[in-house]
Structure 1
Amino acid sequence: MKALVKTDFNFPGQQSVYHGKVRDVYNINDELLVMVASDRISAFDVILPKGIPFKGQVLNQIAAKFLDATADIVPNWKIATPDPMVTVGIKCEGFRVEMIIRGYLTGSAWREYEAGCRNLCGVALPDGMKENQKFPTPIITPTTKADAGHDENISKEEIISQGLVSKEDYELMEKYTYALFQRGTEMAAEKGLILVDTKYEFGKKDDKVYLIDEIHTPDSSRYFYAEGYEDKFAQGEPQRQLSKEFVRQWLIERNFMGKEGQVVPEMTDEYVESVSERYIELYEHIVGEKFNKANAEDVAARIEKNVTEFLKK
């Protein structure tokens, strides 16, 4: 089981490279981006010490399917997927804001609510809500996009008044976010899943707003199993989820939440393999198809060959 945790390609026309927490993004002639979904895994804004085999392929292929399935709602950056771990697309100027949309009160929003917060990113929340309760209508709770460290909650009014995004662009992103979430909700329901919350990123090129990055993957979204949701909610029991939350829970149980002085627990080979299996299971549930493992003998050489051939076309 080989995981791709580091990339150092030199593609034709390459101008620069940005190494993110999980993705490495190569700028080709300031026109295209080659986005490599690595097998790195992050939690609490920390990159964990070991990669997860096939995780990059899982994320890249889920995102590609959902970008294609929502292209009628919003133009997106994707042009092609020349390799199972790579998407090539249009280079946009990304907005410094992530659009997080929540259908249910869970995760970090629940943690804040439980601590007494009744106003989340400018959205008023009523008293008396319970964990994993459905909102009457989905709410948007944006965050600023940080280069390093934690993203910060921010309201629509602050985004516009600080000039992070124009009022016109923000309202278009808002409209797209609701429509994408609606489509994602319908597609999840067909697979017996509930799309609980997710995030979208947008960018701009030639005065046109595009959907960029990944969508509806288990790294950017949370899913519950629809079956048993009502019973578990009524009993106050944890929901069965399809998301990266199981990794966060494993870390929390071992006293790691990315805070200063905390040490990442040891990731044994058995644990790494179990996470890989969970990601493959996520893929098969979310997409509704069997996952076909790509040849992982020399992943870097495979990617280099596939992307170089694509760019030469």
Structure 2
Amino acid sequence: MSNNHDQQYTDVLTDIELPLENRRVGKVRVSYELPNGQRLFVTTDRLSAFDQIMATVPMKGQVLNQLAKWWFDNTRDIVANHALSMPDPNVLIAIAAQPLPVEVIVRGYITGVTSTSLWKRYEDGARDIYGYAFPDGLKKNQQLPAAIVTPTTKAEMGQHDEALTCDQVVDQGLVEPELWAEVQRVALALFARGQQVAQRAGLILADTKYEFGLDSQGKLLLIDEMHTPDSSRFWDAESFPERFANGLEPISMDKEIIRRALADAGYKGDGPPPQLDESVWLETSKRYTSAYEVLTGQKFVPGERPITERIKRNLQGVMGL
């Protein structure tokens, strides 16, 4: 293995400090305020599962940032989004939006291992989930008759998201009725587009998470990320029918490999997570880069190392750092 290849897998971006105002740290992204109603987002290599940061995955931040930008550019006909420019493989400059206080999950299949997932609740005996009535006899990873919107609260770091029904979003005053109707319509249209693109790439988009916000004029914007292996479940389409028929888990191109490894180790999201073998993290990295390539049709080219130095160099011209 060459030194350059070694560095790709050993130089990971955990955090970054920039001389900018109003620093905010999320599970995966660090953001700063820019002039003119803009924010700068740096996507790190951190991976969160069960609402906790677990570790870093090589090249993950670059994959997420570049893939989200690709999707943003290719869905503007459905809804406006916050993306403005990408001055570095890990950096997005975006419109500073006021986020809506709900996460909008669209599901096309009944699956998942976390507490807010459809399958976990169904397996535990629930049949009225997120305000939808589910029949007996469903199997894990089965396709639903139609995609459904299942909102959750937006939890603080380390807290768990809580399930909501679409009615509760309005009844609790989280989102105005007309705006919530538009959000649902847009989310389902985005999901349909995502499924079309995934199908062409030999993948199934099983479910995904969207976040929305309002710009300074009150216009709806898609924010955060879109159809990435962090926010979505992507399965290999060719092997899916046989694996489903035999009760096997789909081959996933997302962070489900981490979720399953943690769940198999008995972890349910409370307390420190168990140590996972390094091979699990490297395999996750390869699946992320593979998902980028098949979805976009573009070869993934790792950015120059060291990452932090490259980011600061690329941002000098943008903001006079």
TM-score scaled to structure 1, two decimals? Answer: 0.93
**Aligned to 2:101, what secondary structure does the other structure show?**
strand
Contact 1:22 1:40 in 2 (8 A): yes
Aligned residue in 2 for 1:146:
155
Kept in 1: contact 2:66–2:90 (CA 8 A): yes
Instruction: Spell out the pairing of 1:179-258 with structure 2 (5 A cutoff).
Output: 179-205=189-215, 206-258=217-269
Please give the secondary structure, in 2, of the residue aligned with 1:129.
Answer: coil
Partner of 1:304: 312
| Alignment partners' CA distance in 2, 1:202 and 1:275 | 27
CA deviations 1:181-232 (Å, max 9, x no partner) are 0100000011011110001100001110000010000000001111122222
C-alpha RMSD of matched pairs (Å): 1.7
Conserved 8 A contact 1:15-1:29: no
Runs of 4+ in 1 over 6 A off after TM superposition: none
**Is this contact kept in 2: 1:30–1:91, CA < 8 A?**
no
Distance 1:224 1:275, change over 3 A: closer
2 CA distance for matches of 1:252 and 1:135? Answer: 24
Shift of the alpha carbon at 1:30?
Answer: 6.5
Moved more, 210-219 or 300-309: 300-309
* Secondary structure of 1:3's aligned partner: coil
- On the 8 A contact 1:102/1:139 being kept in 2, the answer is yes
CA distance in 2, matches of 1:56, 1:168: 35
The alignment's TM-score, normalised by the length of structure 2, stands at 0.91
Contact preservation (8 Å) 2:262, 2:274: yes
Match of 2:4 in 1: none
Partner in structure 1 of residue 61 of structure 2: 56
2:103 counterpart of 1:98 = yes
> 1:38: which partner in 2?
44
Q: Tell me how far 1:237 sits from its aligned partner.
A: 2.0
Aligned partners of 2:71 and 2:238: how far apart in 1?
A: 23
Question: Which residue identity is paired with 2:299?
Answer: K
Letter in 1 for 2:286: E
| Aligned pairs, number | 306
Q: Whole-Å Cα distance in 2 between the matches of residues 212 and 181 of structure 1?
A: 15
Structure 1: which amino acid aligns with 2:102?
V
Q: Contact 1:24–1:37 (CA<8 Å) still a contact in 2? A: yes
Query: Do the aligned partners of 1:82 and 1:307 also contact (CA within 8 Å) in 2?
Result: yes
Assess if the C-alpha contact under 8 Å between 1:2 and 1:296 holds in 2: yes
Q: Residue 28 of structure 1: which of 24, 34, 40 is its match?
A: 34
1:94-115 residue CA offsets vs partner (Å, 9 max, x unmatched): 0000110000111121111111
Query: Quick check: 2:82–2:223 contact (8 Å CA) kept in 1?
Result: yes
Aligned-partner residue type, residue 88 of structure 1: I
Q: Give the superposition deviation at 1:312.
A: 5.0
SS of equivalent residue, structure 1 residue 142: strand
Distance 2:249 2:206 in 1: 14
Contact 2:29 2:41 in 1 (8 A): yes
Partners of 1:123 and 1:141 within 8 A in 2: no
Give the drift of 1:146.
1.2
SS in 1 for 2:102: strand
Match of 2:170 in 1: 160
Alpha-carbon offset, residue 86 of structure 1: 0.7
Indicate the residue corresponding to 2:5 in structure 1.
none
User: 170-179 or 146-155: which moved more?
Assistant: 146-155
Give the aligned residue type for 2:255: K
Q: State the 1:147 CA deviation.
A: 1.7
Return the alpha-carbon distance in structure 1 between the equivalents of residues 75 and 274 of structure 2: 39
Shift in alpha-carbon separation, 1:53–1:233, aligned structure 2, 3 A: closer
Alignment deviations for residues 128-181 of structure 1 (CA, whole Å, 9 cap, x no partner): 211111111101110011123011100111111111100011011001001000
% of aligned pairs identical? Answer: 40
Look up the equivalent residue of 2:227 and give its one-letter code: H
SS of the residue aligned with 1:291?
coil
Residue range with higher mean Cα deviation, 270-279 or 216-225: 270-279
AA at the equivalent of 1:61: Q
Within the candidate set 278, 283, 295, 1:274 is matched to 283
